[in-house]
Amino acid sequence: MDIYLMQHGLALDKEADPERHLSDAGLNAVRRVANRAAELGLELGTIYHSGKARSQQSAEMLAEALNRRELVDFLAGLNPKDPVVPYLDWLQQRSAEGVAALTLVGHLPSLARLTALLVTGSEGQSIVAFENAGLVKLIPDPDREHRYLVSWILSPSLVL
C-alpha cells in the first residue's frame, strides 16, 4: 500500500484566527500541489485529516483538485503531538484489506515521527524535511516487511 503524507498548508497565527485556517500563502501552496497531483493523475485513496481547520482545508483542497471530495475523512490521532506507534497496526490492517493507497494530512512533529517509524522502525530519526503543503510518497520496502521507502517529495516551492 502506498502512503501519501502532507503537512497542512501554512496557517494564520492564533491571534489572527484562533481556529488557524489556512493563510493566503497556505491556500496558494496547497492549491499548487493539489493541482500538480491532479495533473499527474495520482490515486491518493482516502484523504484523512486531523480535524483541525488547517488540516481539513488542505485535505479538502487536495480531494477537490482530484475531483474526489467524497474521499475526505476525519481520523483521530493525527494531531501534532499524538503518538504514532498506534498507526502501525492501523496501516497494516488497511494494507491487509487491500487498500492500494491512502493519504494522511497532518502536522509536525507527528508526521515526521511517523515517517521515521515507517522507514527505519524508530521514530527518533529525521527522514524527511517536511514543508507546509508538501506531499511525500512512501512505498513498501520490498526487502523489509512493514517498512517503507521515500519514493518522492512534491514540494510547493517546486510547483509554479
For 80-94, write each residue's pLDDT tens digit: 999 999 998 999 999
Task: Provide the CATH number for the domain around residue 70.
Answer: 3.40.50.1240
In the predicted model, residues of the chain with pLDDT beneath 50 are none
Grid coordinates given for 139? 512505498
- Number of structural domains (the chain) is 1
Full domain range(s) for residue 65: 2-158
User: What's the confidence (pLDDT) of residue 21?
Assistant: 97
What is the rounded CA–CA span in Å between residue 130 and residue 76?
21
User: What's the confidence (pLDDT) of residue 86?
Assistant: 92
Burial environment of residue 149 by CB neighbours within 10 A (0 to 12, 13 to 18, 19 or more): middle
Cβ pair 114, 82 in contact under 8 A = no
User: What's the confidence (pLDDT) of residue 71?
Assistant: 94
User: What's the confidence (pLDDT) of residue 91?
Assistant: 96
- Grid cell 497565527 is found at 13
User: What's the confidence (pLDDT) of residue 160?
Assistant: 77
Enter the pTM of the model.
0.96
